[in-house]
Amino acid sequence: MTVPFEKPIAIAILAMGGQGGGVLADWIVSMAEAQGWAAQSTSVPGVAQRTGATIYYVELLRPSADGKMPVLSLMPTPGDVDIVLAAEFMEAGRSMMRGLVTPDRTTLIASTHRSYAVGEKEMPGDGTSDPQMVADASGIAARRSIVFDMQRLAEKNGSVISSAMFGALAGAAVLPFGRAAFEDAIRAGGKGVEASLRAFAAAFERAEQGAADPVQRKPTPVEAAVPEKSDHPKLDALLIRLRMAVPLGVQPITFAGLKKVVDWQDPSYGEEYLDRLAALHKLDVEAGGANRDYAFTEAAAKYLANAMTYDDVIRVADLKTRATRFDRVRKEIGAKAEQVVYTTEYMHPRMEEVAGTLPARMGRWLTANRPLYNRLDRFFSKGRHVKTGTLFWFAGLYVVSALKPMRRGMLRHEMETAHVARWLDTATGVLPTNYDLATAVLGARRLIKGYSDTHSRGLTKFDKVMSAVPLLSMRADGGQWLGRLVQAALADEAGSTLDAALQTIHSFADSAPA
Amino acid sequence: MAERSFAREVEDLTLGDGELFRGEGILAITKALLQSGVSYVGGYQGSPISHLMDVLADAKPVLDDLGVHFESSASEAAAAAMLAASINYSLRGAVTWKSTAGTNVASDALTNLASSGVKGGALIILGEDYGEGSSIPQERSHAFAMKSQMWLLDPRPNLESIVKSVEDGFELSEASNTPVMLQVRIRACHVHGQFVAKDNRKPAFTMREALENPIRDLNRIVLPPQSITVHDREKLEQRWPAALDFIRERQLNEFFGPEEGPVGIVLQGGMYNSVIRALQLLGLADSYGNTSVPLYVLNVTYPLLDDEVVRFCQSKRAVLMVEEGHPDYLEQAVNTALRRKDVQTRVAGKDRLPLGGDYTASVLMKGIQSFLDEFEPQMLGNRPPLPSADAVLGSPQVKALAEVVPARPAGFCTGCPERPIFAAMKLVEKELGQHHISADIGCHLFSILPPFNIGGSTMGYGLGPASASAFNVPAGKRPISVMGDGGFWHNGLNTSVGNAVYNKHDGVIMIVDNHYSAATGGQDILSSRAENPLRSTNNSITKAVQGIGAKWVRQIDRTYDVSKMRDTLKAALTSDVEGPKVIVASSECMLNKQRREKPLFSKGVKDGKRMVRQRFGVDEDTCTGDHACIRLSGCPSLSLKHLDDPLRDDPVASIDNTCVGCGNCGEVSEAAVLCPSFYRADIIYNPTRLDRVVAKLRGAVIGFFQRRRAARRIAFA
């Protein structure tokens, strides 16, 4: 009869192509072999090497006393894996979905950073997955979890994630090898040894302390407190007005809005913002907003600011020429002090933008004069590579942004103002009878984004969503439904989800007047 | 230049007698070929056997030393035809490709080779790409072996067994005058293990000797009446029996466990490790493979030795046939063998194991348990707890993951030159409506996945345009077909382009030329732009297409010019010229380009030379979070960033430091008139004195105006 089966140590590495999962597997194998163990690793690279998700699998066991090599498996068995290393947080989720993580035996070592999949990125709104669900699942699926941002730790140490994960594996003390054996394997690999060892050591320490960092889908918005004073009397006046215009709870978001509006134009534009907001707040009070923490005012503070600071050529030219922007670019690309950096902007102004920048009457006349408009369009509408760091192009953008004082007389401003008025009318129209719906109408402003085609697509979706307001006005859950429509509008580019949702609303509006 | 350099692995190929080889399965096979005294090797690259080709390509000195001829064949058909050298001469030859994709292409030659028979050992190494992670149809090489009467080896998946199988394969081929196929599953190709090496052997009889002393034997040529009077008879009366004798005498199949027992398992060699793991978990085997269930391991899965089968089965109540994939060829053959001898042993198999899919250890564990439960339950006696994740998988927390864990399909690499081609195609579709698009095999097939979602079918390597050939009728829209440079030279020049020219096909043919056979690992092909001392490169696709008669041909040498790509595609869709409209869209594979240029760049920087690196960025102030740019890109370095701004709802686009500055982002946002958020940053490393002076001057003037405006601006800090 046979001797009992001594289970090999089973290690699964979940990674995406290009993350160095193979390097990690090789380190584990060479370390184990150097310690006299039998080691076997396999993988299924194939097309997965091009950014797809893939699994590397390693088994380790001592040869028998008489030198016989063990028979090891080429793939993981659910419920039988001792260590799972996930090189990205959703991949940790995948490892649990595949049954590789079980509470009786598995140590889960996962990096909390996110590398978004195409499906998450391509959504017009926010399609990113909630990492908290992965953290919740690991709480019940894993025997022990070691989670922290290994990607950032590796970058900070000038290395790649595989060395940080190897360090976390060593620090977790789940393999029967000492730290020196791990480090020797890195040295034997011979590439980028110093940086790898640095990242290894940093990760080792974190894992040894049992790192379990919290995860978060997105940062909590920072609402700055309203300052007591500013550095300009005009701004001080605005601060005083702000405090009078809206209740305390809504003041921080109002300050964020005010700041944006003033930056976009000037303090008197900020005054206009506060005037409008105060008027809206008055209606909010009349509609009993006090019981609802003035949700209507809060939504108005946010979306009115966004609506009033639409993106036009002046704004773009202004932002692109600021010193702060020059500095931010240098920081983002990690340029060193001695390096020279130039940026090239990819712009494609069209005749709409040109006409929008003209005084309103002239702009309307030109827009109506199609032959001329089209002729000019051929001249203006083309891609331009704008080298902002050179004097010629900087001067060009600077001059455009200098048109700012004339902005409120321009065609584009007239159009935007009219649109905002219609939008606010819709919201205030339903406010007395349907508070939630009115608040949701303000939130629908989120749909208007982008430039040119994207912008007009957003407008179309916005109009469609607005068309449902009369149908929903008598429903107590009308606000929720409008919110659902906004979500549907953000679910795909073409708007087919939105159309389907609208159809639902039409069907229940037709069948039963609520 | 292949994706990986195998300079270090090449050293392993020179290991001598008694030295320990440690490495990947596919490298072990390469070493085994040299130990077997092979005279010539050919093949066509593809996962999982690309490394075999790449190592040999890097091993020229070793091969020269041994007098081995190696070539990268134009296709699997060319590789199979190469084995004709073993028909009349005692030359050992080996070829390799990805099966079953490659075996399909090679079939014509294989049929004739198997008909003629061989004098020298002819070995076909098949990278069997079946199951999870496979990129090809779920078929089996077994059918090819049966139809052509070639022998099929399926060794146990450890390096020692695989190496032995290579050596045995040549001898079996010579003993039975039949080409032999050796199938190695994808995980076995990539398994890391070890074996004790032998010295390499120079071939006893050289290619040169053969060439200078030609042999001609009419009986070896496939032509009536030989094919039926000689070859068919030889196959049945000589080669088959000879093979059976060899397999039996050399004990190529293996028996494990007790000789006698009430039940047993018959398995393909490749299934051995998984079966052992299943038995281990059931408490029926130890860590070193000692099993209490008798095993009959078929390292040769075709032909089957009926007498061995009978011998193993006849004293048993039942046997379980473990055969991965479908149909159940082996199960049928075992049943037939037993019926012929009137042996009443029950044969279980696909009645309790899945018909298709991977036979993983857990699948086998369940199958074997069900088999023993029925036929020998006391074997399961102590019933150790079996590993299972069912409890965890049933928990609401883990179930909920299905909603958040995103699919992660393969996609174009960062900076891929094929991305702008499909971005342009999407822009054209937005303007002219959706078109019928025939796709092909290669990296460009990733266009069928998000975010592009372009392409409706893929029929085979180089067959993209041919698969649109039925759509040559007057219509308001033209079909578009796509084909890579790899597919073009493999098959497409004639089968797709020639076909379209001859039949005056009105469609648009997009040839994606990235200078390599990129999907298989970046091997050189005829039109590669690098100078390759061993091969003839720089042969123009455009000239080839024109040479075959295409009239409307446009070459674009920078695919990143999205506007030009779009306009050319539009021109092709609207041109009055008769016959196919061919666009050759050409830019170098970024993976290969980076591999070449990155070290040069780093060295330049280190040496203090003026170097310029480009990368892209997004101004978060002007990005509104619509992500239209991502829907036209899918670049791994173009991702999302959540801002902490309370006024923003949606994450903005963001480019990370892996950006290689290909330009696609900027060109797309310009061509599609997306938004002005993208910028390209040119970072000048080691700026010259002139750079510094000019930068300082510009900075002074620009800084003056910036300060002036900032001072006048009234805004909250």
Q: Across the strands, what pairs with B319?
A: B264, B347
Q: Are B604 and B611 in contact (CB under 8 A)?
A: yes
Which residue of chain B has the CA closest to A268? B714
CATH 2.60.120 holds for B615-684: no
Q: Across chain A, what does the average pLDDT equal?
A: 94
- Among B286, B651, B683, select the one facing A335 at the smallest CB separation: B683
pLDDT at B8 (0 to 100):
85
Say how many CB pairs under 8 Å bridge A and B: 429
> In this predicted model, what pLDDT tens digit does every residue of B506-560 receive, in sequence order?
999 999 999 999 888 889 999 999 888 889 999 999 999 999 999 999 999 999 9
More confident residue, A513 or A434: A434
In chain A, what percentage of residues exceed pLDDT 90?
86
CATH 3.40.50.970 holds for B419-592: yes
Say if A267 falls within a structural domain.
Answer: no
List of chain B residues whose C-beta atoms are within 8 Å of the C-beta of residue A252: 646
DSSP three-state, residue B26: helix
List of chain A residues whose C-beta atoms are within 8 Å of the C-beta of residue B674: 348, 450-454
Interface of A with B in 303-322 (CB under 8 A): 305-306, 311, 315-316, 319-322
> What stretch of H or E contains B672?
none
Which residue of chain B has the CA closest to A234? B714
pLDDT at B667 over 90: yes
Query: Where do we find the tokens 């092979």?
Result: B38
pLDDT at B1 over 70: no
Say if A161 falls within a structural domain.
Answer: yes
> In this predicted model, what pLDDT tens digit does every residue of A203-236 receive, in sequence order?
999 999 999 999 999 998 888 899 999 999 999 9
CATH topology match: B419-592 vs B615-684 = no
CATH of residue A113's domain is 3.40.920.10
Whether B291 and A342 lie within 8 Å, measured CB to CB = no
HSE-CB at B26 with a 13 A cutoff on CA atoms is 27
Say if A309 falls within a structural domain.
Answer: no
Whether B405 and A451 lie within 8 Å, measured CB to CB = no
Contacts of B462 (CB under 8 A, 6+ apart): B440, B441, B483, B487, B488, B489, B490, B491, B492, B493, B495, B496
Say if A156 falls within a structural domain.
Answer: yes
Whether A266 and B714 lie within 8 Å, measured CB to CB = yes
Q: Which domain holds residue A459?
A: 415-514
> In this predicted model, what pLDDT tens digit does every residue of A33-57 receive, in sequence order?
999 999 999 987 655 456 678 899 9
Distance from CA of B233 to the nearest CA of A (A): 42
Whether B642 and A218 lie within 8 Å, measured CB to CB = yes
Please check whether residue A222 touches B, CB under 8 A: yes
> In this predicted model, what pLDDT tens digit does every residue of A165-214 receive, in sequence order?
999 999 999 999 999 999 999 999 888 899 999 999 999 999 999 999 99
pLDDT at A3 (0 to 100):
58
Q: Are B27 and B15 in contact (CB under 8 A)?
A: no
pLDDT at B657 over 90: no
> In this predicted model, what pLDDT tens digit does every residue of A64-76 receive, in sequence order?
989 899 999 999 9
pLDDT at A1 (0 to 100):
45
List of chain A residues whose C-beta atoms are within 8 Å of the C-beta of residue B413: 18, 50-51
Q: Indicate if the alpha-carbon torsion angle B77, B81, B86, B91 is positive or negative.
A: negative
Which residue of chain B has the CA closest to A402? B709
Report residue A512's pLDDT band, with 50, 70 and 90 as the boundaries: low
- Among A68, A323, A346, select the one facing B669 at the smallest CB separation: A346
pLDDT at A45 (0 to 100):
64
List of chain A residues whose C-beta atoms are within 8 Å of the C-beta of residue B365: 77
- Closest residue by Cα to residue A23 from A204, A206, A203, A200: A200
> In this predicted model, what pLDDT tens digit does every residue of B345-397 receive, in sequence order?
999 999 999 999 999 999 999 999 999 999 999 999 878 889 999 999 999 99
Interface of A with B in 58-77 (CB under 8 A): 61, 64, 68-75, 77
Say if A369 falls within a structural domain.
Answer: no
Please check whether residue A338 touches B, CB under 8 A: yes
Which residue of chain B has the CA closest to A451? B675
Whether A333 and B683 lie within 8 Å, measured CB to CB = yes
Tell which of A153, A188, A208 closes a domain. Answer: A208
Three-state secondary structure readout of A81-119:
CCEEEECCHHHHHHHHHCCCCCCCCCEEEEECCCCCCHH
Q: Across the strands, what pairs with B617?
A: B679
What DSSP string runs through A26-83? Answer: HHHHHHHHHTT-EEEEEE--GGGGTT-EEEEEEEEEPPPTT-PPPP--SS--TT--SE
CATH architecture entry for B254-389: 3-Layer(aba) Sandwich (3.40)
Say if A60 falls within a structural domain.
Answer: yes
Distance from CA of A511 to the nearest CA of B (A): 33
pLDDT at A370 over 60: yes
> In this predicted model, what pLDDT tens digit does every residue of B447-482 receive, in sequence order?
999 999 999 999 999 999 999 999 999 999 999 999
- Among B400, B671, B710, select the one facing A383 at the smallest CB separation: B671
pLDDT at A494 (0 to 100):
86
Mean pLDDT of B315-320: 97
Q: Which of B128, B267, B359, B404 to mutate to test the interface with A (most CBs of A within 10 A)?
A: B404
Distance from CA of B674 to the nearest CA of A (A): 6
Whether B695 and A340 lie within 8 Å, measured CB to CB = yes
Whether B408 and A53 lie within 8 Å, measured CB to CB = yes
Whether B676 and A320 lie within 8 Å, measured CB to CB = yes
Q: How far apart are CA B575 and CA B570, in angstroms?
A: 8
Mean pLDDT of B576-591: 96
Tell me the residue type at A284.
D
More confident residue, A508 or A425: A425
Whether A33 and B22 lie within 8 Å, measured CB to CB = yes
pLDDT at B137 (0 to 100):
84
- Among A25, A50, A267, select the one facing B413 at the smallest CB separation: A50
Say if A275 falls within a structural domain.
Answer: no
Please check whether residue A453 touches B, CB under 8 A: yes
Give ipTM to 2 decimals: 0.95
pLDDT at B3 over 70: no
List of chain A residues whose C-beta atoms are within 8 Å of the C-beta of residue B254: none
Q: How far apart are CA B469 and CA B438, in angstroms?
A: 10
> In this predicted model, what pLDDT tens digit does every residue of B586-605 receive, in sequence order?
999 998 999 899 999 999 99
Whether B674 and A452 lie within 8 Å, measured CB to CB = yes
Whether B288 and A64 lie within 8 Å, measured CB to CB = yes
* Cα angle B280-B286-B288, degrees, rounded to a multiple of 5: 115
CATH 3.30.70.3270 holds for B9-249: no
pLDDT at B97 (0 to 100):
97
Three-state secondary structure readout of A237-249:
HHHHHHHHHCCHH
| Tokens standing for residue B619 | 């101004």
pLDDT at A453 (0 to 100):
80
Counting the structural domains of chain A, the total is: 2
Say if A425 falls within a structural domain.
Answer: yes
List of chain A residues whose C-beta atoms are within 8 Å of the C-beta of residue B361: 73, 75, 77, 80
- Among B190, B627, B681, select the one facing A45 at the smallest CB separation: B190
List of chain A residues whose C-beta atoms are within 8 Å of the C-beta of residue B715: 235, 259, 262-263
List of chain A residues whose C-beta atoms are within 8 Å of the C-beta of residue B280: 5, 7, 71
pLDDT at A51 (0 to 100):
67
List of chain B residues whose C-beta atoms are within 8 Å of the C-beta of residue A120: 406, 640
pLDDT at A514 over 80: no
Please check whether residue A329 touches B, CB under 8 A: yes
> In this predicted model, what pLDDT tens digit does every residue of B153-211 receive, in sequence order?
999 999 999 999 999 999 999 999 999 999 999 999 999 999 999 999 999 899 999 99
Whether B186 and A46 lie within 8 Å, measured CB to CB = yes
Mean pLDDT of B562-567: 96
Report residue B5's pLDDT band, with 50, 70 and 90 as the boundaries: confident
Whether B646 and A253 lie within 8 Å, measured CB to CB = yes
Which residue of chain B has the CA closest to A307? B647
Distance from CA of A294 to the nearest CA of B (A): 17
Contacts of B586 (CB under 8 A, 6+ apart): B513, B514, B515, B541, B555, B556, B557, B559
pLDDT at A48 (0 to 100):
46
Whether A71 and B276 lie within 8 Å, measured CB to CB = yes
Mean pLDDT of A478-483: 96
Mean pLDDT of A274-284: 98
Please check whether residue A121 touches B, CB under 8 A: yes
Whether A449 and B626 lie within 8 Å, measured CB to CB = yes
Which residue of chain B has the CA closest to A323? B706
Tell which of A178, A208, A238 closes a domain. Answer: A208
List of chain A residues whose C-beta atoms are within 8 Å of the C-beta of residue B639: 115-116, 121
- For chain B, give every domain's residue range: 9-249, 254-389, 419-592, 615-684, 687-717
Q: Which of A333, A398, A487 to mutate to test the interface with B (most CBs of B within 10 A)?
A: A333
List of chain A residues whose C-beta atoms are within 8 Å of the C-beta of residue B563: 383
Q: How far apart are CA B501 and CA B582, in angstroms?
A: 10
Q: Which residues of A255-286 are buried (b: 16+ CB within 10 A; e: fewer)?
A: bbbbbbbbbbbbbebbbbbbebbeebbebbee
- Closest residue by Cα to residue B650 from A274, A314, A132, A458: A458
